[in-house]
Structure 1
């Protein structure tokens, strides 16, 4: 930490508005997060041999109140393999769609209902409500803006064998009746494993864990591919202009992967939710608790996601180091109030929300030319903005080539120079006392002979005083 008068830099710790994407919940799979209208979050997972547990949070980071929200009983149709619960709020009730194995040994999709999100959930019938005559798993529901409803699921590879002898899990979709209790019309196959990255597992092949999100007139059907127990388990997406397709898979897939990483493995089976202030999209997914071991012991992870100006879905992850917490929980992301420029050119890519967190993923950043041994990025706001922290995401080469960083705010130096080294984790997060800013310069000094450095994103942070006051009141 460096000081100059009363102003100083310091690393932000988890309690000060940052967190690491491993949320401390292990022994689970297939995490799904529901945000309620009371700004409370509920997490449901594959988590018990005879049902499901759920957890509760107000900030998406700290999860407590673990409780059994669904348990099979003597009248239950499901006997084992309780997987992938997802909960939808509809007309005052909470509908849990889940997978289980029936008495004949086949996988089916059931529905349980509760009047509160933490349960207990009770089966709507003594049989699976959604029986397509074959093994089906991983239900996901879309209630579209026009009120129409759709069910997405994976036709499981255990009972889906092609003429080539290959078992395949494939994504299907079907219209739901208005009361969510039955389907309307026939189901359609929407996705099948076909891109090169989806074929790593060999036989069987998987497209599973569908999750639908509608955005600006398009329908984004995201999914996981390869075997969940393997490090190749990754996330991709496809886009259509209609809820039931036809869908076209993104060329940039996979958008969340642990390829070439040793600190994380098997990133997939996800859900999306919004930050407490509804300004940021987040993806919640599982990865292997022991990256070196893989297998079925998995933990909950969470990273930022979003849509680029070209309409591409992206994930800033897997990011295993500290990162700013979701906006509206201890910190507020105020980056959108700033524009960026460097070397006399506008740099909208530095404040668009897309960050490079490992080599090979989207958001690899901009190469900024060095002049006289330094690179200067200028952030400007139309009106004064309160802030007390920044997060700097470098490009694909990390902080190599960079020596130090300093901040100039409203034409004055905010702090002494902060020394950088190659070992700094991504992103570099610095905090300081709250100030009002209209213009800020981030000056990066580079090593001798370096002609340019890569930057992918700069995030500007402000303390959420209301959240802090609520915490103090609850202590």
Structure 2
């Protein structure tokens, strides 16, 4: 067994398997995920109590035909129409960073490429795609248009085909990083302030409200998690950001799940320091996400 505090992982994503009473923990597991070295793949861990884990186990290893070879980031696992789909970020020399979708018959993998190509625009630098199914059953990808290309990072959305193999609409911008009062510029490039968007995750509350958590930076380049609220209750918004982050202690790239006891839980990595990232699970309630007082 491995203790939670001894697991290196960024961008943790928890999948509860209710019949097994086990949680599957995925995330960025390459210790060399930032540099120009060849990427390894994605691993996962298994736990019944979110403190003691088995693993790591292999979820994905690329074969020679896989076009991506660096920066394997932020895998998310979504069960959809009886299969398990991995949304993950990749890059390669001569290609922009993007999200591709992989598939497996089992939660444990092995995952193999599924989407025809990246489901984010080829001419954009993108990352952190997540799956959202609207009330009509239409799948969407929600993702970040990256600050490294446009300075002020954006959260965008596009419709996916029902088989999740391609997009079927042009992306729309939901909001920009600087729209949130709590974000701060991390640097100035070409006289532009640079604001980060990371890790969007969409959550429908028990009363039908639609929220999104996402990550950026506050003062002194401290990583934080904010929350936005869709005034229409639909993915297209308009979206309004809560004035202060819900977590501001140098951790982020969060997702939300319910424990087997029904407790709403925020999963993040913390601290946001290279090589020191660990999974952290924080109990929250829906009032934590409440943005109704925003105009």
C-alpha contact 1:77 1:127 (8 A) present in aligned 2: no
2:237 to 219, 241, 245: 245
Partner in structure 1 of residue 109 of structure 2: 119
Q: What count of residue pairs does the alignment treat as equivalent?
A: 271
Output one character per residue of 1:131-173: Cα deviation in whole Å (capped at 9) or x when no partner. 342111001111234422221100112222xxxxxx2221111
Q: Which structure has the larger Rg over C-alpha atoms? A: 1
Alpha-carbon distance between aligned partners in 2 of 1:134 and 1:113, rounded to the nearest angstrom = 24
C-alpha contact 1:23 1:302 (8 A) present in aligned 2: no
Alpha-carbon offset, residue 125 of structure 1: 5.3
Output one character per residue of 1:385-426: Cα deviation in whole Å (capped at 9) or x when no partner. xxxxxxxxxxxxxxxxxxxxxxxxxxxxxxxxxxxxxxxxxx
CA RMSD of aligned residues (A): 2.3
Output one character per residue of 1:248-282: Cα deviation in whole Å (capped at 9) or x when no partner. 1112x211011xxxxxxx210011110113x2110
C-alpha contact 2:147 2:197 (8 A) present in aligned 1: no
Partner in structure 1 of residue 191 of structure 2: none
Distance change (3 Å), C-alpha of 1:56 and 1:26: closer
Output one character per residue of 1:47-71: Cα deviation in whole Å (capped at 9) or x when no partner. 1232111011223332213212111
Partner in structure 1 of residue 265 of structure 2: 282
Alpha-carbon distance between aligned partners in 2 of 1:309 and 1:169, rounded to the nearest angstrom = 25
Alpha-carbon offset, residue 25 of structure 1: 4.1
Alpha-carbon distance between aligned partners in 1 of 2:43 and 2:283, rounded to the nearest angstrom = 25
Q: Which runs of 5+ in 2 are unaligned?
A: 31-38, 189-193
For 1:354-369, list aligned pairs within 5 A.
none
Alpha-carbon distance between aligned partners in 2 of 1:309 and 1:297, rounded to the nearest angstrom = 27
Alpha-carbon distance between aligned partners in 2 of 1:199 and 1:250, rounded to the nearest angstrom = 15
Alpha-carbon offset, residue 130 of structure 1: 3.7
1:176 to 151, 154, 160: 160
Alpha-carbon offset, residue 296 of structure 1: 5.0
Partner in structure 1 of residue 182 of structure 2: 197
Alpha-carbon offset, residue 312 of structure 1: 4.5
Q: Which runs of 5+ in 1 are unaligned?
A: 1-21, 161-166, 259-265, 314-475
Output one character per residue of 1:178-206: Cα deviation in whole Å (capped at 9) or x when no partner. 22222222211112122343115233311
Alpha-carbon offset, residue 100 of structure 1: 0.4
1:236 to 214, 223, 226: 226
1:32 to 5, 13, 25: 13
For 1:322-337, list aligned pairs within 5 A.
none
C-alpha contact 1:208 1:224 (8 A) present in aligned 2: yes
Where do 4+ consecutive residues of structure 1 move more than 6 Å?
Answer: none
Output one character per residue of 1:276-308: Cα deviation in whole Å (capped at 9) or x when no partner. 13x21101100127xxxx345311111011212
For 1:48-447, list aligned pairs within 5 A.
48=30, 49-124=39-114, 127-160=117-150, 167-194=151-178, 195-203=180-188, 204-215=194-205, 216-226=207-217, 232-240=222-230, 241-251=233-243, 253-258=244-249, 266-277=250-261, 279-288=262-271, 294-308=273-287, 311-312=290-291
